[in-house]
Structure 1
Amino acid sequence: MVWIGPASERETTVPDLVGLTVEAAWQVTTDHHVKMTSGDPDGPPLSQLTSTGVWLITGQQPPAGTRMRRFGSMAVVVEQIPDNLAGDREPRRPVPRLDGLGAELTPATDGDPIH
C-alpha cells in the first residue's frame, strides 16, 4: 500500500532504493522525507522481517523519480541474502568503466615495450 502523504506537505522525489540494503534504504528514505513499508500488506513489518541477516530491496512502488508528498509512504519488496555470499551488497555507482578503468589505451606494436 502506498500513501501519498498529507495534502499540506511539499513534494519530494522518490529515491531509487533497488539494490540497497534495508539499513541503507532507511537512511535514504529519511533524507528524502518519505517512509518505507513492506510491499506485503499481510506480512510482518519491515523492522521485524529484517531484524536478522542481510536484506536487499528488490522492488519499490512508486518508482524512483516519481514526485510525491513528503512523509508519504512507499512500498518495497525485500529479499534475504544468504550468509555465505561474499562481495558487494550494493550496486556500484557510478558503473565502472570497461576500458581499463580509465587507463590510456594505446595500440601495441611488435617493437613497443609494455607500458
Structure 2
Amino acid sequence: MFGFGFKTTKYQNIGAKEFQSLMKDKNAVVLDVRTPAETRDGVIPGYKMINLMSPEFVSQVGKLDKSKTYLVYCRSGNRSGQACSAMADMGFNKLYNLVGGISAWNNEMR
C-alpha cells in the first residue's frame, strides 16, 4: 500500500543555475557521461569524462571517491540520470543530475 505510484530516486535532479552553484564546493566533481565526440556541443568547465556507453564505465566509476559530490551531465539529462542511478547502486550518496543536460547549460549559462 505504501509507495505505490511513487518513483524514488537516489539522486537529485537540478537545473543549470543550481548545478553551477554546487560546482563551487571543493568536494564537487563535474562528471560528463557523454561520448568524446559529443564534446563538440560544449563542455562544462572542470569536467571529468566517463562515457556511460563505454564497457569500462562501471570499473572507471568504481575508482572514484564515494565521499565526493558528483554533478553529472550528458546531452539532455537522460543518460546522466541513468549514470546517477547506477552510481547510487554502487554506494555513491551525493549525486546531482543536470536536467536538460549540456543543452540546458548552454541555454542558461551563455
* Both structures adopt the same fold (TM-score exceeding 0.5): no
TM-score, length of structure 2 as denominator length: 0.30
TM-score, length of structure 1 as denominator length: 0.29
| Greater fraction strand | 1
